Amino acid sequence: MGARVEVMVVEDDETVLGVVSDYLGGRGYAVTALRDGLVARDALRTARPDVLVLDRMLPGVSGDELCRQVRATAPRTPIIMLTALDTVEQRIDGLEHGADDYVAKPFALRELQLRIDALVRRSRAVHVSPAPFSLGPFRVDAAHRRIWADGAEMTLTAREYELFLFLLQNPDRTLTRDDILHGVWGWSFGEVSTVTVHVRRLREKIEPEPRYPRYLLTEWGRGYRFTVGAAA
């Protein structure tokens, strides 16, 4: 994968933290292992890991709150949430706080590694970027991963940027959630609620009125369609 991957793991269960750290460290990752949310918050003022792995239940500062804070200061840092909360609604709640992905406990170490690798590959990928282009009120400079709306640069997480770019490159096309999972996350299968949450978050940033979207439309029973045509 090229340069050594730096992973910060914040988990208050000493056994889980040790097992994950030993597993990743044994496979060449540079691992910073922390057990307290406050300590992690202080460390993240200067550290910029390639991937941040957060338990949701942490002492000091919860994983949810820490995720929100990181999103405010380093919006493109890839974040994976570890959660023992196993209902779809509880997992969606974790994504709503800004995580890019989640892994439910108990989990296979290999699965966690694969999800870390997928996030790093996409954040480090070198693409032949298309020339800057505009679509409706949106202007895109893919070479520098920047998007403007009505002349104002948007603040997007890494995953929100990738999702929005994918939609902008596929205008007026109905995309299923599986299409989006494959095109944006690189997964051939996965939890489609991940797409639902990220679409909701993106709407909050691109829509004048997110409850009544004019650009990112739901095609009921089919998926989503991005358009810059007349409001539906």
Convert the pLDDT of each residue in 109-155 to its tens digit: 998 998 899 888 877 664 456 688 999 999 999 878 899 999 999 99
Our measurement of the distance from residue 101's CA atom to the centroid of its chain's CA atoms, rounded to an integer in Å, reads: 6
Does 232 have pLDDT greater than 50? Answer: no
Q: What is the pLDDT of the chain when averaged over all its residues?
A: 87
Asked if 34 and 40 touch (Cβ cutoff 8 Å), the reply is: yes
Convert the pLDDT of each residue in 51-80 to its tens digit: 999 998 899 999 989 998 898 888 888 899
Q: Label residue 48 exposed, middle or buried (CB < 10 Å: 0-12, 13-18, 19+).
A: exposed
Does 163 have pLDDT greater than 90? Answer: yes
Does 11 have pLDDT greater than 90? Answer: yes
Domains of the chain in sequence order:
6-124 (3.40.50.2300), 133-226 (1.10.10.10)
Pairing outcome for strands 51-55 and 79-83: parallel
pLDDT, residue 125, reads 60
Q: Residue 92, CB half-sphere, CA atoms under 13 Å: how many?
A: 13
Query: Using CA atoms, how far apart are residues 197 and 162, in angstroms rounded to an integer?
Result: 14
Total-model pTM: 0.65
pLDDT, residue 128, reads 54
Q: What is the dihedral of CA 37, 41, 47, 53, to 10 degrees?
A: 40
Assign 21 to helix, strand or coil.
helix
pLDDT classification of 29: cutoffs 50, 70, 90: very high
Stretch 18-35: mean pLDDT, rounded?
A: 96
Query: Using CA atoms, how far apart are residues 43 and 46, in angstroms rounded to an integer?
Result: 6
pLDDT classification of 190: cutoffs 50, 70, 90: low
- The closest of 53, 57, 103 to 77, measured between CA atoms, is 53
